[in-house]
Amino acid sequence: MPWRVGPAARKAGMRPDPYRIWLSEVMLQQTTVAAVKSYFEAFTARWPTVSDLAGAADADVMAAWAGLGYYARARNLLKCARAVVADHDGVFPDSYDGLLTLPGIGPYTAAAIAAIAYDEAATVVDGNVERVMARLHDEHTPLPQSKPILTRHAETLTPEARPGDYAQAVMDLGATICTPKRPACGLCPWREACAAWAAGTQAELPKKAPKKKKPVRFGIAYLVRRVDGAWLLERRPDSGLLGGMLGWPGSDWIDVTAGTPEAAPPIRAEWKTLPDEARHTFTHFHLRLGLRTALVPMERVPERGEFVAPEDFRPADLPTLMRKAFDLARPR
Ligand code: SF4
């Protein structure tokens, strides 16, 4: 992983960079290592330090984040970088408590940076660690109710010596050996101490409370092209889903059981309805987005959004939902 400092480099005196640890941890929330790697490399090549990131334009950072999802993270990323520069001379605070004062940094991220970058004995608990603790202690209370119990187990094990290596080792144990399905207990260094292994219950742990079925919402998006090839785009408000990202103007997204969304088109045009909907799943609901397209003359003025010239339009700068809509509309 490009944000890690390996044992040889550590021996040679190299320290993990808190900026890179922070950036990787924020990117990894709700996202896999495989998905994050190329984004991490692109971000650190373009903004090698927290000061570089703090000086970046909001629109550039949001565009570079497009496709990673959970866009509030990108907005908080900028807020945090700017706070580090404005309030801490461009250096991340070197303690768990200090890190917690930064915007967008919660207990998990503060503990990860404090342990990995500053070797503070802070306890890092992510999903991997929860699974390892549940099995190690044969804990059958379901998640999320068991979170405080599993955190206490993790705290008890956190050592004073090399807590950063320890935190990464437990997370790696969960990611590679004590995996959700078919854990490789035969390879596990903790097998002799593992209560679930002794009881043969490892495959059923951690227990989870049944998930609620996600509701379905419906919305309408308008994909408008001007005859010169420009597309009509709108920046979404900072708060709310896909906040601060570019997208197609459209309606609110309402529960399908509540009827049809109010759809005020952003420009006067002859609309065609596409046969396909763009579908996307957010944390708390599934979205079905009906698509309307239109071609408009040069002199037509939009009531919402702005036309973006073809040479300035990059589909890659759109969040995944808006790109799906574009891919469906483009052939038509
Ligand atoms: S012995 Fe198996 S269940 Fe127990 S911690 Fe190791 S991999 Fe996980």
pLDDT digits (tens, 9 = 90+) for 227-282: 999 999 999 888 888 888 899 999 989 998 887 787 789 999 999 999 999 999 99
Q: What is the mean pLDDT of each run of 10 residues along the chain (332 residues)?
A: 84 90 92 89 97 95 90 91 96 96 93 94 94 98 96 95 92 94 96 97 95 92 95 89 90 86 88 94 92 95 94 91 93 70
Residue nearest ligand 1's atom 8 by CA: 178
pLDDT at 332: 67
Q: Does ligand 1 have an atom closer than 6 angstroms to the CB of 149?
A: no
Structure tokens at 121: 């004995």
Q: Residue 230 — φ and ψ, nearest 5°?
A: -70, 150
pLDDT value at residue 330:
84
Give residue 192 CA to ligand 1 midpoint distance, Å. 9
Dist CA 111 CA 1 (whole Å): 19
Atom of ligand 1 nearest to the CA of 205: 3
Contacts for 162 with CB less than 8 Å, ≥ 6 apart: 119
| Distance of alpha carbon 232 from alpha carbon 247, whole angstroms | 9
* Residue 153 CA to ligand 1 centre (angstroms): 15
What is the predicted pLDDT for the residue at 310?
Answer: 93
pLDDT at 29: 86
pTM: 0.77
Whether 223 contacts 240, CB under 8 Å: no
Q: Tokens representing 84?
A: 């580090």
Q: Which atom of ligand 1 is nearest to the CA of 131?
A: 8
- Ligand 1, atom nearest to 194 Cα: 4
User: 114-133, pLDDT tens digit by residue?
Assistant: 999 999 999 999 999 999 99
Does ligand 1 have an atom closer than 6 angstroms to the CB of 132?
Answer: yes
Ligand 1, atom 4, residue with closest C-alpha: 194
Active site residues: 25
**pLDDT at res. 324:** 95
Q: b or e along 233-251 (b: 16 or more beta carbons within 10 Å of the residue's beta carbon)? A: bbebeeeebbebbbbbbbb
Q: Is 196 in the pocket of ligand 1 (CB under 6 A)?
A: yes
- 138 CB within 6 A, ligand 1: no
